[in-house]
C-alpha cells in the first residue's frame, strides 16, 4: 500500500463538477492499493499517517501531528501510484489491485483513518474520474510504502 501524503492548507475532490469532499488544513492522502496488501498494511499505514509530525510548532519546527492541529484528512484512491514504467512509455498498472480486492481495503482504510484521527474524514469515490484541487502547504509531500517499513 502506497500513500502520497501532502500537507495542505486546503484540498477538495469533485466528480462531474460536483464537490464530493473538501478540507481546510490537514492532509490530502492519495492511496494506491496493490494485490497483496492486507488489513495489517492499512492499520500500520493509518497510524503512520496520523502520527506524521510535519506541522509547525510555536517555534516553527515540524514537530506536531495532525491531531495536535485538529487537522482533517481527504483520502483519494489512486491506482496509478502502482504504475510500472520500466518498459516503453505506456505505464503498466498490473501491480494495482483489482476492484474486488481494492474496494474493501479502501473502505477499511476510511474506517481506520477515522478511528485513528478521532473524527470523520473526507473521501473521493473509488474508481471515479475525479478532479483533485489542493494548496500544498510548504510544500510538504511524503511518500510512504507499507512494504518498506524498515
Domain layout of the chain by residue ranges: 2-145
Q: Which residue has the higher pLDDT, 73 or 82?
A: 73
Catalytic residues, by residue number, are: 78-80
pLDDT digits (tens, 9 = 90+) for 1-11: 999 999 999 99
Average pLDDT, the chain: 95
Q: What is the CATH number of domain 2-145?
A: 3.50.80.10
pLDDT digits (tens, 9 = 90+) for 95-139: 999 999 999 999 999 999 999 999 999 999 998 999 999 999 999
Give the pLDDT band (50/70/90) at residue 68: very high
40, three cell numbers: 495489517
DSSP string, 90-143: S-B-TTBPPHHHHHHHHHHHHHHHHHHHTS--EE--TT--EEEEEEEEEEEEEE
Nearest alpha-carbon partner for 6 in 56, 73, 78, 70: 73
Q: What is the distance between the alpha carbons of residues 62 and 58, in angstroms, rounded to a whole number?
A: 10
Q: What is the pLDDT of residue 23?
A: 98
pLDDT at 16 over 90: yes
Q: What is the pLDDT of residue 3?
A: 98
53 cis-preceded (ω within 30 degrees of 0): no
DSSP string, 51-86: H---EE-TTS-EEE-TTTTT-EEEEEE-GGGG-B-S
Quote the longest CA-to-CA distance of the chain: 49
Give the pLDDT band (50/70/90) at residue 87: confident
Average pLDDT of the segment spanning 80-86: 88
Q: Are 145 and 82 in contact (CB under 8 A)?
A: no
Amino acid at each position: 500500500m502506497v500513500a502520497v501524503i501532502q500537507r495542505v492548507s486546503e484540498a477538495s475532490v469533485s466528480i462531474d463538477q460536483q464537490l464530493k469532499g473538501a478540507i481546510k488544513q490537514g492532509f490530502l492522502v492519495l492511496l494506491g492499493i496493490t494485490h497483496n496488501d492486507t488489513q495489517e498494511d492499512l492499520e500500520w499505514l493509518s497510524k503512520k499517517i496520523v502520527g506524521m509530525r510535519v506541522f509547525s510548532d510555536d517555534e516553527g519546527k515540524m514537530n506536531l501531528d495532525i491531531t495536535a492541529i485538529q487537522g482533517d484528512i481527504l483520502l483519494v484512491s489512486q491506482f496509478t501510484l502502482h504504475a510500472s514504467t520500466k518498459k516503453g512509455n505506456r505505464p503498466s498498472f498490473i501491480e494495482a489491485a483489482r476492484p474486488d480486492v481494492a474496494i474493501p481495503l479502501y473502505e477499511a482504510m476510511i474506517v481506520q483513518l477515522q478511528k485513528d484521527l478521532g473524527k470523520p474524514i473526507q473521501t473521493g469515490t473509488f474508481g471515479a474520474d475525479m478532479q483533485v484541487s489542493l494548496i500544498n502547504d510548504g510544500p510538504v509531500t511524503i511518500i510512504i510504502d507499507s512494504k518498506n517499513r524498515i
